[in-house]
Structure 1
Amino acid sequence: MLMLSKHLPSTRTLQCYLAVAQELNFRRAAELLNMSQPPLSRQIKGLEDLLRVQLIVRDTHRVSLTTAGEAFKDEAHRVLLALDAAVAGVKADCHDDDAATVRMGLTSVINHSLMPGLNALVTDPAFTGGRALERAWSKRLVERVRSGELDLAIVGDIATPADDLAVETVGSEPMIVVLPASHPAAAQAEVDLAALGAMPLFWFSRTDNPAYYDKCERSFRDFGYAAPRRLEPKDFTMLLAQVAAGEGVALCPQSMQATSRIGVAYRALPPALARLLSIDVQVVSRAHETRGAVRDKVGTIRAALAGKPT
């Protein structure tokens, strides 16, 4: 039966609602959707007006879902999953150039040029199709795979995914210390966290990657490390500038040491701690992917990197 109704929300409205329901924060939801907060708020109000029910409770302190909001979150998620599967199925039956196009992303958290296996893939025109991979933070890439804007992404240690995503670990990237070159510990080839003292640690927000954040917090507690935290800048060169100025220390993936900066020293962590803080390199795609071209790309990455330290 043909359904023509002005009383159905658009897929964009559903995506806006799910972003807010997931983040429980309008600012972060707007960032995920690459839009400003006012139009996002209008989308939510329009949806509530359409349904004639309150879905979200919002005040100056917190955002939460009503009972109806929780139920609608699950239904909206199923609708978008079904639509995604339908679109993927149609594409799988096509035999034109678009069917062979695979849109890929690569996390900006790691420097692939120092990871031979990964670098060989992402710089090979036969693998990339002559197109540059999209570079962004892992969380952003995961959301773009989920929304269908990317087909797969190579990311760093994301949270356990929902049923709509498939995640496969293909390598591991050790963490190292970034400290001012003038710091006494910089004279050592290997630096324990205790040697950093109470100097502030530039660190990311838990909302950026809850799973990896919690993993690191457990390790910090085990090693008795409780330095004060400062929110790290999103730009790595800005982070290095602040470390060089003596404003704090940082931890970063080993491959990022290719970015040199006067006044900054990169040092290894003790092996046991380096293993605990290592970042898993993962391939993320949609769970029910039917396109052979996408599955082939995932297989190529797996064959090149699985079981081999990157």
Structure 2
Amino acid sequence: MTSRSFVSRPAVHAWLMLLPALVLLAAFTYWPIAGSVWESLHTQAPGVDPMFSGADQFAALLDDPVFLQALRNNFWYALVTVPVSVMLALAMALWVNERFAGRGLLRLAFFTPTILPMVAAANVWLFFYAPDIGLFNQLLGAVGIAGRNWLGDVETVLPALMVITIWKEAGFFMIFYLAALQSISPEQRDAARIEAPSAWYRLRRVTLPLLAPTTLFVVVNALINAFKLVDHLFVLTRGGPNNASTLLLYYLYEVAFKFQDISYASALTLVLLALLALCSALQFWFSRKRVHYR
């Protein structure tokens, strides 16, 4: 009896310590997911009880041109912003990890976009992209090149948004790379310099393999951000022109809060979660033999 109580007390104490986190996790993660699953399988109209509709909401997604357009937009958006942000963050971290005068100011300059609220940053870039008085068109006009309506043209609106995302996120990911670089022991650095005098060879064969866990973490977070960063859409484009800048999460917001179609929005939510889970699983699977934790 004494032995049982001795064993159970730490377990009870541990569960009590975990209880607040478990309650919050259940209330704000698992319960909303369960609610989304239930809502996606039912249709609901004002004043009418919910009716079971099965997979009809998901089948409707395949015939929804706006959803398919948003899916294509998000694919290209992630395909460009994720690798460019990660490579730029790595390059900046390698640069500011060296010893030189003004290194602290350069780190601050790289990290400053990260601490700006997304809405404030979007308003700054709105001035850059303005068709008549925008900074970019003013610079182009100074050299005799006609400006463009960057946010009003189907061909340029998505690349313009990609530039903002890369500018905003590269400094954030730089911090993780910088921390990982500083965790490499001086003995490993000295051994690498002795074995390989070439800086490029040391980068490929020593530094990048040691940074593999950080790279995996950064890539997964960059991919998630590519599907959830929509604040600037409210300020800059609102999905236009002609849905050329509509992303999945912004379309989900419109369906849920603008069109008040909760069932369809729940189906969109589950599709978005499934896409993110699939992409993350593939990243972990492909990197399982290349990522080694020390």
TM-score of the superposed pair, with normalisation by structure 2: 0.24
Larger helix proportion, structure 1 or 2? 2
TM-score of the superposed pair, with normalisation by structure 1: 0.23
